[in-house]
Amino acid sequence: MSERAPLVAVTPLGDGRFLLDQDGRQRVAYAVRAAGATWVFLDGEITVVASPSASRGRAAGLDDAGSLSAPMPATVLAVTVQPGQRVAAGDVLIRLEAMKMELPVRAPRDGTVIAVKCREGELVQPGVPLLELDET
């Protein structure tokens, strides 16, 4: 962040390609807008620059209202807790399956299960609450 890099001139080449010129050193980058962010590919590395309005996904966690949701479309294999149950951070609450992988949804912190909002065998979508956790 400290060093002052020479100015980079960027020229769109069309079709998602961009020419970078830095003091005569040329490179080609690729960029596209998708999913509320700008995706850039340069020299084997991918950068996702979030648009001001969108926030990138983080590890399965609670939103401000205390709901847990699926990280991706998935099938509910099992719900291993019941409403009223106290859970500790790291406990497996729900087991999902997607793309042949079992994905455990774990409690992000200690708390009490208020409500379970999915059932076994159900196909769940990202963003839809699976379970509500209260802070106790």
Partner 1 sequence: MFTRVLVANRGEIAVRVMRTCREMGIETVAVYSDADAHALHVALADRAVRIGGAAPADSYLSQSAILDAARATGAQAIHPGYGFLSENAEFAAACADARLTFIGPPPDAMARLGSKTAARRLAEASGVPVVPGAIPDEQSDAAITAAATRVGFPLLLKPSEGGGGIGMKAVHAAADLPAAIAQARREAEAAFGDGTLYVERLVTRPRHVEFQIMGDRHGSVVHLFERECSIQRRHQKVLEETPSTAVTPALRQRMGTAAVALATAAGYQNAGTVEFLVDGAGDDAAFYFLEINARLQVEHPITEAVTGVDLVRAQLGVAAGEPLPWTQAALAQSGHAIEVRICAEDPRQNFLPQAGVLALYREPSMPGIRVDSGVFEGAEVSVHYDSLLAKLIARGETREAARLRGRHALDHFPILGIRTNVPLLARLLTHERFIAGDLDTHFLASEATALLPEDGEPSADARAVADALRRAPAAASGAPSSIADPWSSLKRTRV
Can you give the length of the chain in residues?
136
Whichever of 69 and 94 has its CB closer to partner 1, that residue is: 69
Structure tokens at 9: 């001139």
116 binds partner 1 (CB under 8 A): no
Binding mask 51-70 toward partner 1 (x if CB under 8 A, else -) reads ---xxxxxxxx-xxx-x-xx
25 binds partner 1 (CB under 8 A): no
* Complete edge-to-edge strand list for the sheet that includes strand 67-69: 67-69, 129-134, 111-116, 86-87
Instruction: Write out the residues near partner 1 by the rule CB under 8 A.
Output: 1, 5, 8, 10-12, 14-16, 18, 20, 22, 27, 29-47, 49, 54-61, 63-65, 67, 69-74, 77, 97-103, 126-127, 129
